[in-house]
Amino acid sequence: MSLRQKTYDLKKRMQGAMLGGGSKAIEKQKATGKMTARERIVSILDPDTFHEYDIFVEHAGKDFDMDKKYLPGDGVITGTGTINGYPMCIFAQDFTVAGGSLGYMHAKKICKIMDHAMKLKVPIIGINDSGGARIQEGVNALAGYGDIFYRNTQASGVIPQISVILGPCAGGAVYSPALTDFVFVVDKISKMFITGPEVIKTVLGEEISQENLGGARVHAEISGNAHFFAHSEQECFEQIKDLVSYIPWNNKKTAESFPPKAPKSRDYKIGTIFPTNPAEPYDVRSIIKSIVDNSEFLEVSELFASNIVIGYARINGDTVGFVANQPLNRAGVLDCDSSDKAARFVRFCDSFNIPLVTMVDLPGYLPGIDQEHAGVIRHGAKLLYAYSEATVPKITVILRKAYGGGYIAMCSHHLKADFVFAWPTAEIAVMGPEGAANIIFRSEIMNAEDPEEMRRVKVQEYKEKFANPYVAAAYGYVDAVIQPNETREYVTHALKIGKSKEEYRPEKKHGVPPF
Ligand code: HXC
């Protein structure tokens, strides 16, 4: 063949592969409100940056007449590109080809691009839209999943891993996203479950729809398996681009710096956000916005365990991870879910050189039989472990209540915070004044002529003595009591001073966190 013929031949082959599962399957995909796999990839990446590889890979199935079938690219598209100029490796399962099911070569393609990402030290994005293990390929399909899970684990803490669920992700297939750092879901499109409604009906006799079992809202709000919820695929892609701008490419780098911007101080005034009455709630996200660049805050897991807030912002142009109790929800208590949520976030930030700023206002751990039986001891310990292990700069600001175990857990000096600042409104004590007075002044209250008046007097006495930042400051547990409007200046200074921080932990293979 001449060069012209060979070029034409390549073009024809490419056209065939590009059709995926064919126009009928594509129509079906679109009818359900879904983009095709290639459309998704080019929508996430910067224009004209996608380079596709392994387009001519063929499936290895032999049984059940599979050898007579052509599955373009074996149902998965892989390649590289950039997002806002940052390099990325990416794969997208193509549901139009055998339901995006995972066969031997499909898995090999995913493993290959994951290996590339690890070698090149760039983030990996995986778009999941699949009927799961390709039934006709039997154990080879299962092996493929195992190979992917192993790589997810090896890549953990080395490169950021992002999973996007844009269709079914069922059975053991869910464990790859679960092993990654961020899971994005889209309303009415994402479906994740270990066992689907049919199996549940057969085994347990319970009936539930796919949406109510494992839809996007379920995972964003109830199970906590998803970290970002979007109403459309396009919104989801914008969220991914935003997230990528805050995190580094790998664990040897720091996140990209941006030109510093002042907070929007007219919209976010601490004096108006923070209530005078200590029993009144407020939105801690507004406090965060009052001190960060351009008042921009990207919240992670916004809908799950919202008694704690986690997310990214920039201070003086550099990324900072925020962990803050949210007085708007359950007074900001720590419980099983909020401890898990914050602990995982702290570990991500620590792995990827993102300094942590912790804002404290909580009455402690949530009491109750449910919590005790659900393992609040084990879950709560995760946060202690994550903070104690973290060696990135750690700055804590105590806004109001810091009671009991909550005071310790929210990155106190005892867990090796580098700087602890407290507002004059801070109350650092073993427990709230009411509870404390009832216990330590029980006999005085009981024997008083007017027990209620005596209780009021004793609560006030306790408040004046202990519910302030000065006792902790007297022991050096608080480095500085600062005016609220000095917070940005103190945090900025601490981050600057902490830039070259080096801290080591005892040498070991790895610890045994309370998983
Ligand atoms: C082979 C599959 C497939 C699979 C779908 N297809 N899933 N082929 N293996 N797992 C094929 C269908 O045969 C069909 O082919 C095409 O993909 C589109 O599927 P439809 O059923 O027509 O689509 P839809 O109605 O949208 O339903 C999607 C679905 C359903 C809900 C995902 O296909 C389904 O229930 N699939 C099986 C799910 C499952 O049980 N997977 C195995 C999980 S076990 P044609 O040729 O007709 O177009 C597992 C173990 C992993 O994954 C363990 C790891 C540790």
423, 448 Cβ separation under 8 angstroms: no
- For residue 458, the CA-to-ligand 1 centroid distance in Å is 67
* Residue 192 near residue 359, CB atoms below 8 Å: no
The predicted structure's pLDDT at residue 233: 97
SS3 153: helix
CA end-to-end span of the chain, whole Å? Answer: 61
The pLDDT, as a whole number, for residue 465 is 84
Residue nearest to atom 18 of ligand 1 (CA): 99
Helices and strands in the chain: count of H runs, count of E runs: 21, 16
The string over 483-495, giving b where at least 16 C-beta atoms fall within 10 Å of a residue's C-beta and e elsewhere, is: ebeebbebbbebb
CA angle 41, 250, 121 (to 5 degrees): 70
Interval between CA 27 and ligand 1 midpoint (Å): 18
Give 287 Cα–ligand 1 centroid separation in angstroms: 47
Residue nearest to atom 37 of ligand 1 (CA): 131
Q: Pick out the chain residues at pLDDT < 50.
A: none
The strand pairing partners of 232, in sequence order, are none
Q: How far apart are CA 509 and CA 16, in angstroms?
A: 50
By three-state DSSP, how is residue 356 classified?
strand
Residue 234 near residue 119 (C-beta atoms within 8 A): no
Q: Is 98 in the pocket of ligand 1 (CB under 6 A)?
A: yes
Q: Which residues contact 190 (CB under 8 A, 6 or more apart)?
A: 165, 166, 167, 169, 215, 216, 219, 226
The finding on whether 189 has its CB within 6 A of some atom of ligand 1 is no
What's the Cα-to-Cα distance from 344 to each of 347, 349, 387, rounded to whole Å? 5, 9, 10
Phi and psi at residue 357, to the nearest 5°: -115, 125
Distance, in Å, from the CA atom of 96 to the CA atom of 76, rounded to the nearest integer, reads: 10
**Any ligand 1 atom below 6 A from CB of 132:** yes
**What is the Å distance from ligand 1's center to 98 Cα?**
7
pLDDT number for residue 467: 84
Domains of the chain: 3-246 (3.90.226.10), 270-432+468-498 (3.90.226.10), 434-466 (no CATH)
Measured from the CB, is residue 133 less than 6 Å from ligand 1? yes
CA of 229 to the centre of ligand 1 (A): 25
Q: Which atom of ligand 1 is nearest to the CA of 210?
A: 31
Q: Are 218 and 190 in contact (CB under 8 A)?
A: no
**Nearest residue CA, atom 27 of ligand 1?**
131
Distance 132 CA to ligand 1 centre (A): 6
d(CA 191, CA 401): 40
- Given ligand 1 and candidates 135, 169, 192, 213, which is best to mutate, with the most ligand atoms within 8 Å of its CB? 135
Task: Write down the pTM of the prediction.
Answer: 0.95
Give the helix/strand (H/E) hosting 67.
Answer: none
Ligand 1, from 93, 101, 137, 142: best to mutate by most atoms within 8 Å of Cβ? 101
* 173 touches ligand 1 (CB under 6 Å): yes
What is the phi/psi pair of residue 347, to 5°?
Answer: -65, -40
Cα of 224 vs centre of ligand 1, distance in Å, is 25
| 214 Cα: distance to centroid of ligand 1 (angstroms) | 16
Exposure string of 415-452, with b = 16+ CB inside 10 Å and e = fewer, is: bebbbbbbbebbbbbebbbebbbbeebeeebeeeeeee
CA atoms of 3 and 379, how far apart (whole Å) = 65
